[in-house]
Chain A
Amino acid sequence: MPEVAHAADRRDAAWWVDRAVRILVLAGGLSAIVFIAGIFVFITREGAGFVFDRFDFREFFGSPRWTPTSSHNPTYGALALIAGTASVTGLAMVVSVPFSLGAAIYIGEFATGRVRETLKVLVELLAAIPSVVWGFIGLSIMNPLIIQVFNVPVGLNVLNAGVILGLMAAPIMTTIAEDALKAVPDTYREAAEAMGATRWQVTFKVVLPAARNGLVAATLLGVGRGFGETMAVLMASGHSINLPTSPFDSVRALTATIAAELGETAAGSDHYGALFTLGIFLFLVTFAINFAADVFVRGGQRKHRRRGRRPAASANP
């Protein structure tokens, strides 16, 4: 080392390595942004031809006629597909929001010790079942069950896909909702209990209102999950284009349409571009849902940090 080097100058090998690593990990962090931007760029790149040449806003959102393979007059109305996705997701939410929130309340506020840990593990395992297996369950177990119980000719319908999707979305909603309940500071509960409130009074009057933002976020993420689910909906919904009027109608979802038709289209054709346009639409809607959920989660956290600050001594057990 040259003698003139300043005593505090520590630019040795370790310093340079540290510098290099700092840049490397920053690149890793930035990659998430690069990928999400890349997804948008590449699906737009493939869909752009259709969007600019053929896309008709009123047809796309107003017409239920999706006949891209028609030889003389192909139409690209996505209304029936949107209705299919909406009906299945809607039913899934009706089924699973109450149960997920109930489960979150039980796990977070009532269960203790070993029971609580076991239930959390079970919920986590539910989330691990692959969507194609759920689809297969809809096809081979739910289908005959629905035909038998409701005496209908076809068991692949909104009801089937909705229940399957509800079971699929429940774990993520339960987990996020339980996190939201856990984020409510214990001082809130202690204050209410000191006033003589019972546990369910504490839960209903204090914890649930305080965790409202997080619960909304949990529901939103569940909606996002249902909206984007592909294989299960493809296999369990019946996959026929329909504006559903009852839970026993077969429908077709946006995601399922892409999965079923993309393999048969020629790259660059209108049909191909139309499927990518459905993809752009899906991307934008899920982006909006996730963004909204994030805003709610953040809002909830900030509120508790401001109002429910615990004494420093007990914050770090």
Chain B
Amino acid sequence: MFEATAQNRRNRKVEGLFRLLFLWMTCMLILPVALILGVLIVRGGPAISWEFLFTQPMNNMTAGGILPALVGTVWLVVVALIASVPVGVAAALYLSEYAPDNRLTRAINLAIINLAGVPSIVHALFGLGAFVIFFRFGTSVLAASLTLAVMTLPVVIVATRESLQTVPLAFREACWNMGATRWQTIRKIVLPNSISGILTGVILEVSRTSGETAPIMFTGAAFFLPFLPQGVLDQTMAMSLHLFVISTQVPDVPEHMPFGVALVLISMVLAMNGISIAFRVYLRGRKKW
């Protein structure tokens, strides 16, 4: 009764074929990118040296290093984080700990989805219209960072909310039963148990912010500035825009330079994401409940 029939064998064969097909499709998404990374490393690797990273660009950006772009990206990321992390965490706390299931909550969720979905160039137009012109920050680190902050807000909110929701409801209930207020519960129970998850979200935001180009083009990033920003109202160079500029706008750049910049940029971003993922896996392993 339990012998494999012809039908069973055929089914197993078809199943194997489909399995292979889907595996092949998955690989087709990943392999090209692995190849591209390989090319970037082979052709950009020789360009990278201490000198490349820590000297000023020279001869109309056809020689020298990328120091102002590196420092500028750090400025932009730090200011954007200062602006967006408190707001993002507050929004996530509201959605996870306070929000009833009503129209307002749905509207907030829809707004978050849309903030993430609006094209980056539209964020750039918003930054120009709001921060540069209306609030009179001029083209500056401040205006560019605030634009980036608005754009990457959903990253913090989503990561934080997910992390808050992994804390079991029973933890909160135990605390409420002791007479604690909602905020005391959040402060003593929910946040300590989810802070590392929030951190992975922040790291993800750093990665996202440092790679964005369009939102900073008209709000604070300059094509070429041979000095470092002294404050938030100065303009600055940035890694992402620098890659765009030397690969499309400047003639006679030696080929290894844009490859070097691309390699540095992608290494920064992937390292950040790698750290965030490793952190998450480690936490999942350590979780006690």
Contact = CB atoms under 8 A, between A and B. Distances in A.
Interface in B238-268: 240-241, 243-244, 247-248, 258-259, 262, 265-266
Contacts of A39: 118, 122-123, 126, 150
A28 B91 contact: yes
A45 B270 CA distance: 38
Interface string B104-144: 01011111111101111111111011100110000000000
A31 B181 contact: no
Contacts of A26: 94, 98
Contacts of A132: 211, 213, 240-241, 243-244, 265
Contacts of A110: 19, 22-23
Contact of A135 (B150, B157, B208, B244): B244
Given A99-B25, A139-B248, A201-B11, A287 B118 contact: yes
B90 A24 contact: yes
Interface string B142-159: 000000001001100100
Interface stretch (A50-58, A73-81, A121-129, A147-155): A121-129
B33 interface: yes
Contact of A133 (B87, B88, B157, B262): B262
Interface string B28-46: 1110110010011000000
Contact of A229 (B109, B113, B119, B129): B119
B282 to A, nearest CB: 13
Given A133-B262, A136-B262, A255-B121, A102 B22 contact: yes
Contacts of B123: 39
Nearest to B277: A121
B231 interface: no
Contacts of A263: 217-218
B78 interface: no
B87 A43 contact: no
Given A99-B28, A167-B29, A279-B125, A18 B19 contact: no
Interface of A: 14-15, 17-18, 21-22, 24-33, 35-36, 38-39, 42-43, 45-46, 96, 98-100, 102-103, 105-107, 110, 117, 119, 121-126, 128-133, 135-137, 139-141, 167, 170-171, 174, 198-201, 203, 221, 224-225, 227-231, 235, 255, 258-259, 262-263, 267, 275-276, 279, 282-283, 286-287, 289-291, 293-294
A85 to B, nearest CB: 10
A33 B108 contact: yes
Contacts of B207: 128
Nearest to A103: B26
A198 to B, nearest CB: 5
B95 interface: yes
A25 B94 contact: yes
B228 interface: no
A141 B36 contact: yes
Given A32-B108, A259-B214, A170 B29 contact: yes
B29 A99 contact: yes
A36 B11 contact: no
Contact of A103 (B22, B87, B184, B213): B22
A32 B91 CA distance: 8
Nearest to A122: B30
B244 A235 contact: yes
A200 B277 CA distance: 31
A133 B267 CA distance: 11
A42 B23 CA distance: 46
Nearest to B154: A32
Per DSSP, chain A at the interface is helix
B29 A283 contact: no
A29 B118 contact: no
Contacts of A140: 247, 258-259
B234 interface: no
A258 B153 CA distance: 23
A105 B22 contact: yes
Given A230-B214, A276-B129, A282-B119, A167 B33 contact: yes
B227 interface: no
Q: Can you list the 4 inter-chain pairs with the closest CB atoms, starting with the nearest? A: A28-B90, A130-B211, A228-B119, A102-B25
B236 interface: no
A43 B125 contact: yes
A30 B107 CA distance: 9
A279 to B, nearest CB: 4
Contacts of A35: 111, 115, 150, 153
Given A35-B153, A110-B19, A130-B240, A123 B30 contact: yes
A130 B210 CA distance: 9
10 contacts: A14-B181, A30-B108, A32-B111, A36-B111, A39-B118, A110-B19, A130-B269, A132-B265, A141-B39, A287-B117
Given A42-B130, A130-B211, 17 more contacts: A21-B183, A25-B97, A28-B93, A28-B94, A29-B91, A32-B154, A35-B115, A35-B153, A102-B22, A106-B19, A125-B270, A131-B213, A133-B265, A227-B119, A258-B121, A263-B217, A276-B129
